[in-house]
Amino acid sequence: MEGKIERYFDVLGDTMRGIEATGPEGEPVQTGIAIERAIGLIRGAATDGRKTMFIGNGGSAAIASHMAIDFSKNGKMPAMAYNDASALTCLGNDNGFETVFAGQIDMLGRRGDVLVAISSSGESPNILNGVKAAAARGIAVVTVSGFAPGNRLRGLGAVNFYVPSREYGFVEISSQALLHAMLDLAMGWTGVP
Protein backbone atom coordinates (compact mmCIF):
# COMPACT_ATOMS: atom_id res chain seq x y z
CA MET A 1 0.00 0.00 0.00
CA GLU A 2 2.85 2.43 0.79
CA GLY A 3 4.00 2.37 -2.84
CA LYS A 4 0.49 3.15 -4.07
CA ILE A 5 0.17 6.10 -1.70
CA GLU A 6 3.49 7.54 -2.86
CA ARG A 7 2.48 7.03 -6.51
CA TYR A 8 -0.90 8.70 -5.88
CA PHE A 9 0.76 11.82 -4.51
CA ASP A 10 3.34 11.78 -7.31
CA VAL A 11 0.55 11.74 -9.92
CA LEU A 12 -1.38 14.43 -8.04
CA GLY A 13 1.72 16.64 -7.89
CA ASP A 14 2.41 16.11 -11.60
CA THR A 15 -1.24 16.96 -12.36
CA MET A 16 -1.07 20.18 -10.38
CA ARG A 17 2.23 21.19 -11.97
CA GLY A 18 0.69 20.46 -15.38
CA ILE A 19 -2.18 22.96 -15.04
CA GLU A 20 -2.47 24.95 -18.26
CA ALA A 21 -3.87 28.43 -18.75
CA THR A 22 -5.32 30.22 -21.74
CA GLY A 23 -6.68 33.66 -22.47
CA PRO A 24 -9.96 34.73 -24.05
CA GLU A 25 -8.90 33.73 -27.57
CA GLY A 26 -7.54 30.37 -26.46
CA GLU A 27 -3.96 31.62 -26.55
CA PRO A 28 -1.60 29.90 -24.10
CA VAL A 29 -0.70 31.98 -21.06
CA GLN A 30 1.91 31.12 -18.45
CA THR A 31 0.09 29.84 -15.37
CA GLY A 32 1.65 32.45 -13.09
CA ILE A 33 0.60 35.27 -15.41
CA ALA A 34 -2.92 33.82 -15.66
CA ILE A 35 -3.14 33.68 -11.86
CA GLU A 36 -2.03 37.33 -11.70
CA ARG A 37 -4.74 38.24 -14.23
CA ALA A 38 -7.42 36.36 -12.30
CA ILE A 39 -6.32 38.02 -9.04
CA GLY A 40 -6.43 41.38 -10.82
CA LEU A 41 -10.01 40.79 -11.96
CA ILE A 42 -11.16 39.71 -8.50
CA ARG A 43 -9.28 42.43 -6.65
CA GLY A 44 -10.50 45.03 -9.17
CA ALA A 45 -14.10 43.96 -8.64
CA ALA A 46 -13.69 44.30 -4.87
CA THR A 47 -12.09 47.74 -5.21
CA ASP A 48 -15.04 48.86 -7.36
CA GLY A 49 -17.59 47.66 -4.80
CA ARG A 50 -18.42 44.54 -6.82
CA LYS A 51 -18.31 40.85 -5.96
CA THR A 52 -16.96 37.54 -7.15
CA MET A 53 -19.50 34.79 -7.77
CA PHE A 54 -18.59 31.10 -7.68
CA ILE A 55 -20.57 28.32 -9.38
CA GLY A 56 -20.08 24.56 -9.50
CA ASN A 57 -21.90 21.24 -9.20
CA GLY A 58 -21.26 18.47 -6.66
CA GLY A 59 -17.67 18.59 -5.43
CA SER A 60 -17.18 21.81 -7.39
CA ALA A 61 -20.12 23.33 -5.47
CA ALA A 62 -18.30 22.53 -2.24
CA ILE A 63 -15.17 24.20 -3.63
CA ALA A 64 -17.31 27.20 -4.67
CA SER A 65 -18.69 27.56 -1.13
CA HIS A 66 -15.27 27.17 0.47
CA MET A 67 -13.65 29.72 -1.82
CA ALA A 68 -16.50 32.24 -1.52
CA ILE A 69 -16.20 32.38 2.25
CA ASP A 70 -12.39 32.43 2.20
CA PHE A 71 -12.23 35.23 -0.39
CA SER A 72 -14.77 37.22 1.64
CA LYS A 73 -13.55 36.57 5.19
CA ASN A 74 -9.81 36.12 4.77
CA GLY A 75 -9.20 38.07 1.58
CA LYS A 76 -11.65 40.91 2.28
CA MET A 77 -12.93 40.55 -1.31
CA PRO A 78 -16.74 40.15 -1.40
CA ALA A 79 -17.74 36.77 -2.82
CA MET A 80 -20.68 34.40 -2.86
CA ALA A 81 -21.50 30.92 -4.12
CA TYR A 82 -24.73 30.32 -6.00
CA ASN A 83 -25.58 26.94 -4.50
CA ASP A 84 -28.30 27.73 -1.97
CA ALA A 85 -30.67 24.72 -1.94
CA SER A 86 -33.83 26.82 -2.14
CA ALA A 87 -32.59 28.84 -5.11
CA LEU A 88 -31.39 25.72 -6.94
CA THR A 89 -34.61 23.78 -6.40
CA CYS A 90 -36.85 26.77 -7.17
CA LEU A 91 -35.13 27.66 -10.43
CA GLY A 92 -34.60 24.01 -11.33
CA ASN A 93 -38.25 23.18 -10.76
CA ASP A 94 -39.60 26.26 -12.52
CA ASN A 95 -37.17 26.60 -15.42
CA GLY A 96 -35.03 23.45 -15.59
CA PHE A 97 -31.78 22.53 -13.88
CA GLU A 98 -29.75 23.92 -16.77
CA THR A 99 -30.89 27.44 -15.73
CA VAL A 100 -30.08 27.37 -12.01
CA PHE A 101 -26.92 29.48 -12.27
CA ALA A 102 -27.93 31.69 -15.20
CA GLY A 103 -31.11 32.62 -13.34
CA GLN A 104 -29.22 33.71 -10.24
CA ILE A 105 -26.66 35.61 -12.30
CA ASP A 106 -29.49 37.39 -14.13
CA MET A 107 -31.06 38.36 -10.81
CA LEU A 108 -27.94 39.27 -8.82
CA GLY A 109 -24.99 39.73 -11.18
CA ARG A 110 -23.86 43.23 -12.12
CA ARG A 111 -21.45 44.62 -14.68
CA GLY A 112 -18.04 44.68 -13.02
CA ASP A 113 -18.61 41.50 -11.03
CA VAL A 114 -16.46 38.41 -11.65
CA LEU A 115 -17.73 34.86 -12.15
CA VAL A 116 -15.53 31.87 -11.30
CA ALA A 117 -17.00 28.81 -13.03
CA ILE A 118 -15.72 25.45 -11.77
CA SER A 119 -16.53 22.22 -13.64
CA SER A 120 -14.50 19.04 -13.65
CA SER A 121 -15.82 18.05 -17.08
CA GLY A 122 -16.23 21.54 -18.50
CA GLU A 123 -19.44 20.30 -20.12
CA SER A 124 -22.16 20.92 -17.52
CA PRO A 125 -25.07 22.75 -19.23
CA ASN A 126 -25.93 24.78 -16.12
CA ILE A 127 -22.33 26.00 -15.79
CA LEU A 128 -22.09 26.84 -19.50
CA ASN A 129 -25.40 28.72 -19.34
CA GLY A 130 -24.22 30.59 -16.25
CA VAL A 131 -21.10 31.71 -18.09
CA LYS A 132 -23.20 32.86 -21.05
CA ALA A 133 -25.47 34.84 -18.72
CA ALA A 134 -22.43 36.45 -17.11
CA ALA A 135 -20.91 37.42 -20.45
CA ALA A 136 -24.22 38.98 -21.53
CA ARG A 137 -24.17 41.19 -18.41
CA GLY A 138 -20.56 42.36 -18.81
CA ILE A 139 -19.27 40.12 -16.04
CA ALA A 140 -15.67 38.90 -16.36
CA VAL A 141 -15.32 35.11 -16.26
CA VAL A 142 -12.58 32.86 -14.90
CA THR A 143 -12.96 29.15 -15.68
CA VAL A 144 -11.47 26.07 -14.02
CA SER A 145 -12.03 22.72 -15.75
CA GLY A 146 -10.50 19.34 -16.45
CA PHE A 147 -11.13 16.08 -18.29
CA ALA A 148 -10.99 16.65 -22.07
CA PRO A 149 -8.55 19.36 -23.22
CA GLY A 150 -11.19 20.62 -25.67
CA ASN A 151 -14.05 20.91 -23.17
CA ARG A 152 -16.45 23.76 -23.92
CA LEU A 153 -15.92 25.69 -20.69
CA ARG A 154 -12.20 26.01 -21.23
CA GLY A 155 -12.58 28.61 -23.97
CA LEU A 156 -15.24 30.85 -22.42
CA GLY A 157 -13.37 32.94 -19.88
CA ALA A 158 -11.10 35.95 -19.86
CA VAL A 159 -8.79 33.56 -17.98
CA ASN A 160 -9.13 29.77 -18.29
CA PHE A 161 -7.39 27.11 -16.23
CA TYR A 162 -7.28 23.48 -17.36
CA VAL A 163 -6.34 20.59 -15.06
CA PRO A 164 -4.88 17.79 -17.23
CA SER A 165 -6.66 14.78 -15.73
CA ARG A 166 -9.78 12.71 -16.30
CA GLU A 167 -10.02 11.69 -12.65
CA TYR A 168 -12.49 13.59 -10.51
CA GLY A 169 -10.32 13.50 -7.41
CA PHE A 170 -7.27 14.93 -9.13
CA VAL A 171 -9.29 17.61 -10.94
CA GLU A 172 -11.16 18.65 -7.79
CA ILE A 173 -8.10 18.74 -5.54
CA SER A 174 -6.14 20.68 -8.16
CA SER A 175 -9.02 23.14 -8.69
CA GLN A 176 -9.23 23.78 -4.95
CA ALA A 177 -5.46 24.24 -4.66
CA LEU A 178 -5.35 26.58 -7.67
CA LEU A 179 -8.10 28.81 -6.29
CA HIS A 180 -6.56 28.80 -2.83
CA ALA A 181 -3.22 29.76 -4.35
CA MET A 182 -4.92 32.75 -5.98
CA LEU A 183 -6.33 33.84 -2.65
CA ASP A 184 -3.12 33.25 -0.71
CA LEU A 185 -1.08 35.15 -3.29
CA ALA A 186 -3.63 38.00 -3.34
CA MET A 187 -3.26 38.19 0.45
CA GLY A 188 0.52 38.54 0.12
CA TRP A 189 1.89 35.00 0.53
CA THR A 190 5.63 35.23 -0.02
CA GLY A 191 6.67 31.60 -0.19
CA VAL A 192 8.23 31.66 3.25
CA PRO A 193 6.71 28.99 5.53
For residue 152, being part of any structural domain is answered with: yes
> The domain spanning residue 103 has which CATH number?
3.40.50.10490
Tell me the C-alpha to C-alpha distance, in Å, between residue 60 and each of 16, 43, 52, 91, 96. Answer: 16, 22, 16, 19, 20
Cα distances (angstroms) measured from residue 42 to each of 4, 105, 175, 193: 39, 16, 17, 25
pTM of the model: 0.97
Has residue 115 been placed in a domain? yes
In a domain, 66, yes or no: yes
Count how many domains the chain has: 1
Q: Which residues pair with 114 in a beta bridge?
A: 52, 140
pLDDT at 1: 76
pLDDT in tens, the chain (193 residues): 778 999 999 999 999 999 999 999 999 999 999 999 999 999 999 999 999 999 999 999 999 999 999 999 999 999 999 999 999 999 999 999 999 999 999 999 999 999 999 999 999 999 999 999 999 999 999 999 999 999 999 999 999 999 999 999 999 999 999 999 999 999 999 887 7
Quote the radius of gyration of the chain (alpha carbons, Å): 16
**Dist CA 173 CA 17 (whole Å):** 12
Position 11 in a domain? no
Domain membership of residue 3 (yes or no) is: no
Q: Which helix (H) or strand (E) holds 58?
A: none
Q: How many CA atoms lie within 13 A of 171 on its CB side?
A: 23
Residue type at position 47: T
Whole-angstrom CA distances from 9 to 16, 146, 165, 168, 174 are 10, 18, 14, 15, 12
Give ∠ CA 77-16-151 in degrees, rounded to 5. Answer: 85
Say if 13 falls within a structural domain: no
Contacts with 11 (C-beta within 8 Å, 6 or more apart), sequence order: 170
Instruction: Evaluate whether residue 8 is within a structural domain.
Output: no
Domain carrying residue 168: 20-186
- Nearest C-alpha neighbor of 147 from the set 126, 159, 164: 164
> Is 7 domain-assigned?
no
d(CA 191, CA 97): 42
Per-residue pLDDT of 115-168, as tens digits, reads 999 999 999 999 999 999 999 999 999 999 999 999 999 999 999 999 999 999
The pLDDT assigned to 165 comes to 98
